[in-house]
Amino acid sequence: MSREEKGITRRMVVRFSEEGAAAPEEDSVAVEEPLEIRVSGDTVAITMRTPGQDRELAVGFLFSEGILRSVDDLGGVTYCGRPGEEGWGNVIEVTPAPGLVLEVERVSAARRGTLTTAACGVCGRRTVEDLMAVCTPVPPGLVLAPEVVAHATERLRDVQRNFASTGGVHAAAVLDASGELLAWAEDLGRHNAVDKAVGTLVLSGGVRASRASPSGTSPRPERPPGVLVVSGRASFEIVQKAAVAQIPVVASVSAASSLAIDLAERSGVTLATFVRGGRFNVYTHPTRLRRP
């Protein structure tokens, strides 16, 4: 089963128009199911998501929370239970590399008495500063041509297969400095889509936390991420996930919130909004966008 087919199911629908009701027919709709993320047997989060790329979602979520620093921290990522059992595929277990203890209290300490999220990076947070704590400023250096950002949402549309069938999912993609796709994902939740895309890069070694190698000896990926492009608006938590992954540019189809702009300014992220038809607005760090 392909990635897009796994996230789609069929339901009967009756379509109405000025002429009246049409005959019932099957329609494609996005699947919504819970995913429980466990670390060493402890439940860390439960999120409503579109099935598919669950390993990437779990890894991306733990990475954005500051629990994982790189693929080197991972021992395994597997589903709990057995195929055919009720609920199989909706609980995923992350185990650390031998000799490593993952600090799951980073999540429980930052959230208000609940382990449940709903594809939201801010929901349940005690303070905005809890989110800032896992953000390291993105250093200057990587320069992108404005055309890369201008056409970023076109690259996103190219991979929105589930959206084309259902109209009911968000998408996120990570591009390199030349605008080529590095990773992409679709999900009912914008934040899940970002976690899936970032998790893909974490698993491949293409993204590491800035604190992953204090000695500075971490190998630089051949094609470092340049742009995180998202459907919908750019919210605080989207910028936060980009900052943790050290992605220097966030490009959104729609608007940005005030907190997203403030965080982008503080974390060194270039924030571009209303990226459509070759035009866009930049709120922070516009000097990163120039011809290399």
Interval 153-180: pLDDT, tens: 999 998 999 988 888 899 999 999 999 9
SS3 218: coil
Higher pLDDT, 200 or 232: 200
Q: For residues 78 and 143, give the distance between their C-alpha atoms in angstroms, rounded to a whole number.
A: 38
- pLDDT of 113 above 60: no
pLDDT for the residue numbered 164: 87
Question: Using one digit for the tens of pLDDT, what is the confidence trace for 50-91?
Answer: 999 999 999 999 999 889 999 999 999 999 988 877 778 899
pLDDT for the residue numbered 136: 77
CATH number for 146-212+224-288 (one of 3.40.640.10, 1.20.1090.10, 3.40.140.10, 3.90.1150.10): it is 3.40.140.10
Phi/psi at 172 (5° precision): -145, 145
Residues of the chain with CATH 3.40.140.10: 146-212+224-288
135 has catalytic annotation: no
pLDDT for the residue numbered 210: 72
CATH topology of domain 33-132: Ubiquitin-like (UB roll) (3.10.20)
Question: 80, 120, 123, 135: which is the annotated catalytic residue?
Answer: 120
120's torsion region: left (phi>0), alpha (psi -120 to 50) or beta? beta
Region 174-203: what's the mean pLDDT?
96
Q: pLDDT band for position 281 (50/70/90)?
A: very high
Q: Which two tokens stand for residue 251?
A: 């490009």
SS3 165: helix
Residues of the chain with CATH 3.10.20.10: 33-132
pLDDT for the residue numbered 261: 95
Name the CA dihedral angle for 238, 239, 245, 246, rounded to a multiple of 10 degrees: 160
